Amino acid sequence: MKIALNALQVRGAKSGVGQHIACLLEALLEIDSTNSYLVFASHYNYFNYQFSSPRYQLEIWGSRSKSKTVRLLYEYAFLPCAVRKSKVDLFHGPSNLLPLRKVAPYVLTIHDMSYFVDPKRYTRTKVMYWHAVTYRSARLADFIITVSAYSKQDILKYLDYPSDRIRVIPNAAHRRFRPIRDRVALEEFRNRYRVTHPYILSVGTLEPGKNLVRVVRAFARLRREGAGDYHLLLVGDIGWLYHEIFAEVRRLGLKEQVRALGHIPDDDLPLAYNCAELLVFPSLNEGFGLPVLEAMACGVPVVTSNCSALPEVAGDAACLVDPYDEAAIARGMESVLGDVSKREDLVQRGLKRSTVFSWKRTARETLEVYEAIAQECP
């Protein structure tokens, strides 16, 4: 069977969905010795999907225009023709959407329904676009994969799609995320990024849903209450409606204590976790929340939200807080930083929790979906 996956929508700086596609592909190529895989990638992200296998083909496709509108129009107009020409047996849209016309059996992965659940965190144009393409994609999909039971419930709530045609297949932390004992490597990371203080880490695209304005306010409260001379490092690409984050940093006089490092390379991210005192991730709505597992796999305690999919991912291995209460976020961070026994307990629980999830398991279950749909649609 020849299986195509669409990575065209993902930006070059890999966020959650970009990591999902890369890790899924890597694991599929490891466990599957029978099928071949074709990935449609853009001129701006193809370097994220380079794997060495005789059963793997990377097709750099689409418009080179820097206009997102032009690239989307090109994709919608011509991608179905490219899929048909490639003579694939199945097409997987792993980033929430499918081509506008049905030219093969279709599997769709919907990571979350945040554009429906929490539209205020996006621009009006984004909401209108994603509502339209999500409805359209669901109508064309032969099967939907999602990454958490929470997301499945949202799909059932907002889309007219049969429950027995939706399968929950969770993400996992890549094997690069692990405790690192190499002091030289850790010190080189600190020097490379000019890290001079113990720090609290936040990982994720800088956009309203990551709740970073409240994180900054909680951090300011933590400092006022004398919890320690910590810095706050924000790791993640610039997203949308992010200006309020930096305005709050300036308003609170924290320009020296809060730093945005932007997107950092995959090999540096495990070092960023390992050097951190804790991960703070009080996101407002997550379909999964990969940074939670990544931090746990690195032996770093986690403070995260008590809502959406995050309790499902974290289990009993994180400090759960109300993401709408900045005082609660501050108390959560203080309780981890100030209590050695609690911190060590969370570290051990997190290391154990992270092993529950595996990309090989994710790949095996995804492959089961592919094979079932291929049998249904010969």
Does 227 lie in the same domain as 158?
Answer: no
pLDDT at residue 33 above 90? yes
State what percent of residues in the chain have pLDDT above 90.
Answer: 83
Q: How confident is the model at residue 90 (pLDDT cuts 50, 70, 90)?
A: very high
pLDDT at residue 71 above 80? no
pLDDT at res. 173: 97
CA atoms within 13 A on the CB side of 29: 20
pLDDT at residue 39 above 80? yes
Which residue reads 């932007």 in tokens?
A: 262
In a domain, 188, yes or no: yes
Higher pLDDT, 371 or 122: 371
Burial class (CB in 10 A: 0-12, 13-18, 19+), 190: middle
pLDDT at residue 228 above 90? no
Stretch among 70-74, 88-92, 104-108, 295-299 having the lowest mean pLDDT: 70-74
Q: How confident is the model at residue 86 (pLDDT cuts 50, 70, 90)?
A: very high
Does 187 lie in the same domain as 164?
Answer: no
Q: Which domain holds residue 199?
A: 183-354
User: What 3-state class would DSSP assign to 301?
Assistant: coil
Q: Which residues fall within 8 angstroms of residue 318, CB to CB, at 6 or more apart?
A: 292, 296, 301, 302, 303, 304, 310, 346, 350
Q: How confident is the model at residue 377 (pLDDT cuts 50, 70, 90)?
A: confident
In a domain, 113, yes or no: yes
Does 147 lie in the same domain as 214?
Answer: no
Does 225 lie in the same domain as 332?
Answer: yes
Q: How confident is the model at residue 367 (pLDDT cuts 50, 70, 90)?
A: very high
**pTM (two decimals):** 0.94
Does 132 lie in the same domain as 54?
Answer: yes
Tally the domains of the chain: 2
Taking only the tens place, the pLDDT of each residue in 107-119 is 999 999 999 998 8
Taking only the tens place, the pLDDT of each residue in 303-318 is 999 999 999 999 999 9
Q: Which of 21, 30, 172 is nearest to 97 (CA)?
A: 21
Does 93 lie in the same domain as 16?
Answer: yes
Does 187 lie in the same domain as 124?
Answer: no
Q: What is the CATH number of the domain that holds 199?
A: 3.40.50.2000
Residues in a beta bridge with 93: 108
* 20-25 average pLDDT score: 96
Q: Please give the Cα distance from 359 to 174 (Å, whole number).
A: 7
Q: Which of 273, 276, 277, 211 is nearest to 242 (CA)?
A: 211
The answer to whether the beta carbons of residues 312 and 292 sit under 8 Å apart is no
In a domain, 28, yes or no: yes
Does 309 lie in the same domain as 269?
Answer: yes
Taking only the tens place, the pLDDT of each residue in 142-196 is 999 999 999 999 999 999 899 999 999 999 999 999 999 999 999 999 999 999 9
In a domain, 178, yes or no: no
Q: Please give the Cα distance from 200 to 232 (Å, whole number).
A: 5
pLDDT at res. 76: 79
Taking only the tens place, the pLDDT of each residue in 147-157 is 999 999 999 99
Distances (CA, A) of 204 to 250, 253, 280: 21, 23, 11
Q: Six-digit token pair at 126?
A: 């984004």
pLDDT at res. 311: 98
Taking only the tens place, the pLDDT of each residue in 233-268 is 999 998 888 899 999 999 999 999 999 999 999 999
Q: Please give the Cα distance from 103 to 373 (Å, whole number).
A: 14
Does 334 lie in the same domain as 363?
Answer: no
Q: How confident is the model at residue 378 (pLDDT cuts 50, 70, 90)?
A: low
Residue type, 344: E
Start-to-end C-alpha separation, the chain: 11
